[in-house]
C-alpha cells in the first residue's frame, strides 16, 4: 500500500532528485516520507470503475476497506480496527499501555485514538494506565480498600492528611481521594483506630484486626498472594515463570520473595512450576 501511495505521489511531482541517505537516517527519512504521503494523498473509497480500494492488514492478513484501517499517529503504521481493538484491550487487561504492534516500534496509541476503538470502561482503564505510567514507582499509592484500589500520588496522600498531622492519635492517617475512606499510609491497610502502627503490625490476634484486613489476609493466604516489599501491594501469579514484576516496577521471585537484581535471581528456587506452565 505504501509503494502504491509513493508511486501516486511521484506522478504528481514535476522534478525530484534521488539522494543517498545514511543508515542512521533511514528511520527518520522513512517517517518523513510517510507523513508527506499521508498529508498529500486522500485515497477515495472507490475508483472511477467503481471498484473498492482495499488495504491488507498485516496482523490478520485480510483485505479491508481503507476506511476500516486504523493509523497510529506517532509512527503512521496502519492496521484494521478489529485487530487494533483486540490489541489495545489485551494490553490494558495485562496492565500495560498499548504500543504499536509493529516490530521494534515503540509508539504509544494515544488516548484520543483509543476512544474511537474502545468501550467507555476500557477508556477509563487507559486513563488509569496513563496516570500510572506518569508516576514514578516510588510515588504510587493505592487505596487499600478492595472495592476502590484508586491510584494516588504520595503528594495527594499527604495533602489529604494535612488536617491530621498535629493530632498524635491520628498519626499516619490519610483519606482516599476517590472513596474518601480513611486508611493508614504506613501500614497500607484500612485505618486501625486507637492502635499504633508498631503494635498493629506485631499483633497477630484476629480480634484486633479490622474486618476488611482480616478478609484480605485470608484471601491472600488462600490464593498464595505475595506482598511487594517496595509498594506493599498484593501480587498474584496466574501463570508463567516465578520471575514476576509488580506494577510498581519491582522484580522478585514469587516463590520466596527476594528481589531480582540486574535481571539475575538471588535465590535457588526453580524458575518454573508445573502448575503455572499449563493453564488450568
Q: How confident is residue 275, by pLDDT bands cut at 50, 70 and 90?
A: low
Domain contains 17 = no
Helices (H) and strands (E) in the chain, counts: 9, 13
Nearest-CA neighbor of 189 among 204, 172, 177? 172
**What is the SS3 assignment for 237?**
coil
pLDDT digits (tens, 9 = 90+) for 168-185: 667 788 899 889 999 988
Domain boundary among 110, 133, 156: 133
Domain contains 18 = no
| Higher-scoring residue by pLDDT: 116, 143 | 143
What is the greatest pairwise CA distance in the chain? 85
**What is the SS3 assignment for 189?**
strand
Instruction: Please give the radius of gyration of the chain, using alpha carbons only, rounded to the nearest integer.
Output: 26
What integer pLDDT is reported at residue 181 of this predicted model?
92
- Check residue 12 and report its DSSP letter: H
What integer pLDDT is reported at residue 41 of this predicted model?
43
Residue 148 and residue 77 share a domain: no
Domain contains 67 = yes
Cβ atoms 240, 274 nearer than 8 A:
no
Overall average pLDDT of the 198-219 stretch: 68
Of the residues 210, 241, 267, 269, which is catalytic?
A: 241
Q: How much of the chain, in percent, has pLDDT values that exceed 90?
A: 4
Residue 145 and residue 126 share a domain: no
Residue 181 and residue 163 share a domain: yes
pLDDT digits (tens, 9 = 90+) for 15-35: 656 666 665 666 666 666 665
What integer pLDDT is reported at residue 129 of this predicted model?
76
Domain contains 66 = yes
Domain contains 16 = no
Residue 155 and residue 119 share a domain: no
Domain boundary among 223, 245, 272: 223
Domain contains 270 = yes
Domain boundary among 113, 133, 153: 133
Residue 206 pLDDT more than 60?
no
pTM (predicted TM-score)? 0.45
Cβ atoms 4, 37 nearer than 8 A:
no
Which CATH number characterizes residue 73's domain? 3.30.40.10
Lowest mean per-residue pLDDT among 137-146, 199-208, 210-219, 241-250? 199-208
Mean pLDDT (the chain, rounded): 76
Cβ atoms 115, 73 nearer than 8 A:
no
Q: How much of the chain, in percent, has pLDDT values that exceed 70?
A: 72
**What is the SS3 assignment for 183?**
strand
Nearest-CA neighbor of 210 among 234, 182, 174? 182
The CB density around residue 207, as the number of other CB atoms within 10 Å, is 6
What integer pLDDT is reported at residue 84 of this predicted model?
92
Residue 160 and residue 108 share a domain: no
Domain contains 252 = yes
pLDDT digits (tens, 9 = 90+) for 58-95: 888 888 888 889 988 888 899 999 999 999 888 877 66
Overall average pLDDT of the 246-265 stretch: 78
Residue 120 and residue 55 share a domain: yes
Residue 40 pLDDT more than 70?
no
Cβ atoms 143, 179 nearer than 8 A:
yes
Domain contains 153 = yes
Is 241 a catalytic site residue? yes
Q: How many structural domains compose the chain?
A: 3
d(CA 123, CA 136): 22
> Which residues does residue 56 pair with via DSSP β-bridges, in sequence order?
63
What integer pLDDT is reported at residue 176 of this predicted model?
92
**Cα dist. 80→64, 141, 183, 214, 234 in Å?**
7, 37, 46, 48, 37
| Higher-scoring residue by pLDDT: 44, 114 | 114
| Domain extent for 165 | 141-223
Nearest-CA neighbor of 145 among 65, 247, 216? 216
Residue 215 and residue 254 share a domain: no
| Higher-scoring residue by pLDDT: 67, 133 | 67
pLDDT digits (tens, 9 = 90+) for 236-250: 887 778 888 787 778
Amino acid at each position: 500500500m505504501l509503494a502504491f501511495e509513493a508511486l501516486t505521489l511521484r506522478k504528481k511531482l514535476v522534478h525530484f532528485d534521488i539522494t543517498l541517505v545514511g543508515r542512521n537516517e533511514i528511520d527518520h527519512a522513512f517517517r518523513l516520507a510517510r507523513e508527506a504521503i499521508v498529508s498529500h494523498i486522500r485515497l477515495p473509497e472507490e475508483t472511477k470503475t467503481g471498484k473498492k480500494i482495499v488495504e491488507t492488514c498485516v496482523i490478520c492478513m485480510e483485505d479491508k476497506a481503507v476506511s476500516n484501517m486504523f493509523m497510529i499517529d506517532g509512527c503512521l503504521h496502519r492496521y484494521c480496527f478489529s485487530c487494533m481493538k483486540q490489541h489495545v484491550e489485551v494490553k490494558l487487561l495485562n496492565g500495560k499501555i498499548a504500543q504499536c504492534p509493529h516490530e521494534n516500534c515503540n509508539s504509544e496509541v494515544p488516548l484520543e485514538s483509543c476512544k474511537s476503538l474502545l468501550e467507555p470502561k476500557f477508556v477509563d482503564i487507559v486513563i488509569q494506565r496513563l496516570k500510572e505510567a506518569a508516576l514514578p514507582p516510588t510515588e504510587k499509592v493505592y487505596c487499600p480498600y478492595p472495592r476502590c484500589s484508586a491510584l494516588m500520588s504520595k503528594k495527594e496522600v499527604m495533602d489529604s492528611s494535612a488536617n491530621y498531622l498535629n493530632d498524635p492519635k491520628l498519626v499516619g492517617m490519610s483519606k482516599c481521594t476517590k472513596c474518601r475512606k480513611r486508611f493508614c499510609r504506613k501500614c497500607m491497610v484500612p485505618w486501625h483506630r486507637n492502635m499504633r502502627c508498631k503494635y498493629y503490625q506485631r499483633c497477630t490476634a484476629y480480634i484486633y484486626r479490622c474486618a476488611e484486613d482480616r478478609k484480605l489476609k485470608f484471601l491472600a493466604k488462600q490464593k498464595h498472594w505475595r506482598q511487594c516489599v517496595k509498594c506493599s501491594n498484593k501480587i498474584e501469579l496466574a501463570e508463567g515463570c516465578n520471575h514476576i514484576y509488580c506494577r510498581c516496577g519491582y522484580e522478585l521471585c514469587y516463590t520466596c520473595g527476594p528481589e531480582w537484581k540486574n535481571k539475575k535471581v538471588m535465590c535457588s528456587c526453580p524458575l518454573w512450576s508445573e502448575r503455572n506452565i499449563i493453564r488450568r
